[in-house]
Amino acid sequence: MLSFKKIFWLNVFIVIIIAFNLRAPITAIGPMVDTIKNEYGLNSTLVGILTSLPLMAFGSISFIVGYFSPIRAVIVGIFLIFIGELLRSYVGVYGLFIGMLAIGCGIAIANVVLPSFIKEKFPKQMTSIMGVYSLILSVSSIVGIALATPLLHIFDLATAMAFWILFAFIALAVYFPQVKNGRFFRTKKLTSKQVNIFKHPTTWKITLFMGFQSFLAYSLFFWYVQIVMEKGFSKDFATDMILLGQLIAMPVSLFGPLLLGKLKKNYHTPYIATLCSLYAISFGILFFCNNQLMIILGACIMGFPWGGVFGIVLLFIAQKSYNAQIAARLSAFAQGFGYLIAAQGQWIIGLLHDKFENFSSSICMLFVVGIIVNIVGYLSYKSQVIK
């Protein structure tokens, strides 16, 4: 029989191994966009739709995940990621789109389940484990971006996209034994009144916070390399810049929620406001500046909110929920509508680029959304706990 300490670390490992599969399969596509366009004959609008599909799946699937067994849901989620990577790589242009959608469905399932899992299993270490979860997501993002171009140099496009199957298989192998005993998701049934979260103002504030910060994050994942390349820089430099932003985001994603938990309450508002406002500042630099030093500075500034804001959203989902059941429902709702908002960014940027043949209007749009993130972040922090 496992001791409490061993079960604790086993739970932590479950969070880590699942979280690692939730970003790399899609962030790796960003540096491959120009290769995909040439290989399949797609224009910027179609590429925008392609990169929007995972987010559309995030939004659509999130609503129904709560109705199924979490144990089976996680297995189905990882399996969908595995199958989606196969379809995307080896079944032509239709498989490319269907595979991206399947990957998004699989990631959506885990996105919803993990915050409530953390709320239930780590009630006293919630900020710490949420920081670890957010950190692993950043690591996964970095690995996806960092390996994309080297993989294209070593393999053809199909094999480079299929590389991530390895990690989905490892996750399946590690997690599958838990289906039989259910130890990790076995919880006490709590009797609580049914709360209509749809009518609670906190739900909508956190949902908008989730949606608009994801709008920015995924727009950058998929289009930042192309934006920097259009300014006259090489693809290698542009990829290095997105990696620089993610390298800065990585420690911020870990320590951001921890710092917010440690700060005195009167410092919470300035901290959240400063972090969110850095998005708008980085987009201002990206719009007005074309020299290498300022692009590097902009990437550094962008890394702080890129890593820190998402962790704060997850923390708010847990903190503003009275119990794990409410956290699961709030997580499903916020991620459902939130990712539907986020999914609009990719195709809008692609459409604007096809129309104006540059990214200037897209950067202006991202600047405005950065200001909106600041506002809804403050409103989310001030919102009441959902009981």
pLDDT, tens digit (0-9, with 9 covering 90-100), for 184-234: 455 445 444 567 788 889 999 999 999 999 999 889 888 898 899 999 999
The pLDDT value given to residue 70: 65
Q: Which of 299, 288, 287 is nearest to 362 (CA)?
A: 287
The 10s digit of each residue's pLDDT in 6-53 is: 777 777 887 888 889 998 998 898 889 889 988 998 888 888 888 888
Q: Which of 115, 122, 131, 120 is nearest to 259 (CA)?
A: 131
Q: Which of 145, 306, 310 is nearest to 222 (CA)?
A: 145
The pLDDT value given to residue 179: 65
Q: How far apart are CA 225 and CA 25, in angstroms?
A: 17
The pLDDT value given to residue 73: 79
The pLDDT value given to residue 184: 47
Indicate the range of 253-257, 268-272, 303-307 predicted with least confidence.
Answer: 253-257
Task: Supply the pTM of this predicted model.
Answer: 0.74
Q: Are 182 and 62 in contact (CB under 8 A)?
A: no
The topology (CATH level 3) of 4-181+193-382 is Growth Hormone; Chain: A; (1.20.1250)
The pLDDT value given to residue 188: 44
Residue at token pair 């996750």: 171
Give the largest Cα separation in the chain, rounded.
64
Mean pLDDT over residues 273-281, rounded? 90
Q: Treating both helix axes as pointing N-terminal to C-terminal, what angle do 344-356 and 324-342 enclose, rounded to 10 degrees?
A: 10
Task: Measure CA 143 to chain center.
Answer: 14
Using the predicted structure, report yes or no on whether residue 250 has a pLDDT greater than 90: no
Start-to-end CA span in the chain (Å): 36
Q: How far apart are CA 61 and CA 275, in angstroms?
A: 30
The pLDDT-based confidence of 244 (bands split at 50, 70, 90) is: very high
Residue spans of the domains in the chain: they are 4-181+193-382
Using the predicted structure, report yes or no on whether residue 181 has a pLDDT greater than 80: no
What is the rounded average pLDDT for all residues in the chain?
84
Q: Are 128 and 101 in contact (CB under 8 A)?
A: no
The 10s digit of each residue's pLDDT in 42-77 is: 888 888 888 888 888 877 887 777 666 666 778 888
Mean pLDDT over residues 374-380, rounded? 91
The pLDDT value given to residue 213: 93
**Can you give the chain as a three-state secondary structure string?**
CCCHHHHHHHHHHHHHHHHHHHCHHHHCCHHHHHHHHHHHCCCHHHHHHHHHHHHHHHHHHHHHHCCCCHHHHHHHHHHHHHHHHHHHHHCHHHHHHHHHHHHHHHHHHHHHHHHHHHHHHCCCCHHHHHHHHHHHHHHHHHHHHHHHHHHHHHCCHHHHHHCCHHHHHHHHHHHCCHHHHCHHHCCCCCCCCCCCHHHCHHHHHHHHHHHHHHHHHHHHHHHHHHHHHHCCCCHHHHHHHHHHHHHHHHHHHHHHHHHHHHCCHHHHHHHHHHHHHHHHHHHHHHHHCCCHHHHHHHHHHHHHHHHHHHHHHHHHHHHCECCHHHHHHHHHHHHHHHHHHHCHHHHHHHHHHHHHCCCHHHHHHHHHHHHHHHHHHHHHHHCCCEC
The pLDDT value given to residue 191: 44
